[in-house]
Amino acid sequence: MSRSIHAAQGESLPYNHHLHQFLTFLKHERGFADATIVNRERSLNPFLGWLVAQDVPLSTVSPVTITKYFTNAVAGRWKRTTISFHVYSLRSFFRYASSRGWCAAGIAESIDAPRVYTHENLPQGPAWEDVKKLVTSVNGTSPVQIRSRCAILLCSVYGLRVGEVCCLRLEDIDWAEERISVRRPKQRKAQTYPLTTEVGNALLRYMKEVRPRCPHREVLLTLRRPYRPVSVGALSTMTRKLQKRLGLKLKRYGSHVLRHACATHLLAQGLTLKEVGDHLGHMSVAATRIYAKVDLVGLREVAALDVRPLVDCIQQCEQSAAPFYRIGEIQALRDVGNLGLGGVA
């Protein structure tokens, strides 16, 4: 009879040693960001605990073992996207484990991930009016509200990732020049923004009235001893609770949806994909292009375009000496023009 995973945690120390070596490899050899390493650890811990609970040594793990884990331990509890992420973590771990001789070769290549379609889950943040409601809800005088207002404004105004908010340090705020520098772990560089009046006032109030005096240089700290930097999980949980308390109906809750809301709002205000991508710290416009798919107002405007004049123009081109459309394309475009796209919502 299998022992519970919870009971096996204390016995998983040998695997914890393997896990520690793997995470060290990711950090120093692969250069992974700290947040990515934390996610890898969280993803692998349940599997390693399950191995101990099932009395399966790491050296004897086979593709059948992996299949049993996904069909028995997590079936029906995880979404396909979650399973896919765990598969990537296991593949990475077993490639490293195989190179160290901890397990048989070829296990990583045998782990199949469920199919996840491109743009299957479009980033859907709250409407900008809901973001305003959220900011207004933390306009009180309690230390928690004052600190929460800083975090929410940083995520909403600058579109920062919650990890970037947690890593913000005192020296990153230039009060004289009214600028704020943000470390981008993914790009391994810093990005400078103008310090807006609202964000600056919120930070200044927090510094004067709430932030405890301690050696830590991070801006956002816990409010109780021992003082330490606020964690990513704590900020996300705080935002999620506020959103639900306001009764906001969102597909997803938490701090990261504020980044999506910022991007969508900037697009709606007429900024280009390149400008929005620069604001969010994207390295390529491809990472920003997905937000164009959730600009429903813009999509409706495109759908309402009357393309029949374009079809008439192409018909005239057909009669010219050098038509520039290949055979078959002109009829396809006629079909599009005849759809009457103005009725598509």
List 149, 161, 184, 260, catalytic entry = 161
Q: Count of residues for the chain? A: 345
Known active-site residue 291: yes
Q: Count H helices and E strands in the chain, helices first.
A: 17, 3
Known active-site residue 119: no
Known active-site residue 249: no
What is the C-alpha separation between 152 and 243, in angstroms, rounded? 11
Known active-site residue 259: yes
User: Peptide bond before 114: cis, by omega within 30 degrees of 0?
Assistant: no
Known active-site residue 245: no
Q: What is the DSSP string of 112-165?
A: PPPP--TTSS------HHHHHHHHHHT-SSSHHHHHHHHHHHHHHHS---HHHH
List 149, 211, 259, 265, catalytic entry = 259
List 256, 260, 265, 279, catalytic entry = 256
Report the DSSP beta bridge partners of residue 169. 218
Known active-site residue 260: no
CA atoms within 13 A on the CB side of 162: 21
Exposure letters 169-203 (e unless 16+ CB within 10 A, then b): eeebbeeeeeebebbbbeeeeebebebeeebbebb
List 40, 260, 265, 282, catalytic entry = 282
Active site residues: 161, 186, 256, 259, 282, 291
